[in-house]
Amino acid sequence: MINNIVDHVTKYSPITEEKIYGIEVFQKVRKADTEHRFVQCSGCVDFLHVGHIVYLEQAKRLGDKLVVTVNTDKRVIELKGRLVFTLDERLYMLASLACVDYVIPFGEDLPNEIIRKVQPHVYVKGCDYSNKDLPEASTVYEIGAAIHCLPESRTYDCTTTDIIKRIKLL
């Protein structure tokens, strides 16, 4: 899966390729980097839009390195009931954003294990969550990280569902 996108990206965009990691390789990079403040966001990002970009740019401001962990296709279908872009496409699009430093796929139901492996200083979620409602909150606190919810990320009132509805009206 990752190899398909890395093979494609290597031919066309070596800069983007350098941002897409498997968790094992990322852990080595993370362990060696003790100077930067890491921020982690997790989600489907099944249809990249301005709301996601605003959210990611705001998240990046909370630290030095932004790590985006992305649900696999199977998990997106389970959560959303649809798949607009494949994992490879989503990894590539996210990696192409200047505010994103690392993109890592994960397939677990909840991001608890990937949070333990990434070891962020700050874990970020959008405004549709509060710290007390976040299923992974105990894991974030267990590793000594902070949780930051970004209510401003809905400023554009833009969701994938809304975009799909607008497209269907065309």
Return the closest-CA partner of residue 66 out of 44, 39, 33: 39
Domains along the chain with CATH numbers: 2-168 (3.40.50.620)
- At residue 167 the predicted structure's pLDDT band, cuts being 50, 70 and 90, is confident
Task: Name which residue leads in pLDDT, 115 or 134.
Answer: 115
Q: Provide the CB-side half-sphere exposure for 49 (13 A, CA).
A: 17
Burial annotation 85-116 (CB, 10 A radius, 16+ → b, else e) = bbbbebbbbbbebeebbbbbbbeeeebbebbe
> How do residues 136-156 score in pLDDT, each as one tens digit?
999 999 999 999 988 755 555
Rounded to two decimals, the pTM is 0.86
What average pLDDT does the segment 1-24 reach? Answer: 67
| 97 vs 12: CA distance, rounded Å | 15
> How do residues 73-129 score in pLDDT, each as one tens digit?
999 999 989 998 999 999 999 999 999 999 999 999 999 999 999 999 999 987 666
pLDDT over 90 (residue 3):
no
Q: Provide the CB-side half-sphere exposure for 107 (13 A, CA).
A: 7
| 68 vs 14: CA distance, rounded Å | 19
pLDDT for 159? 73
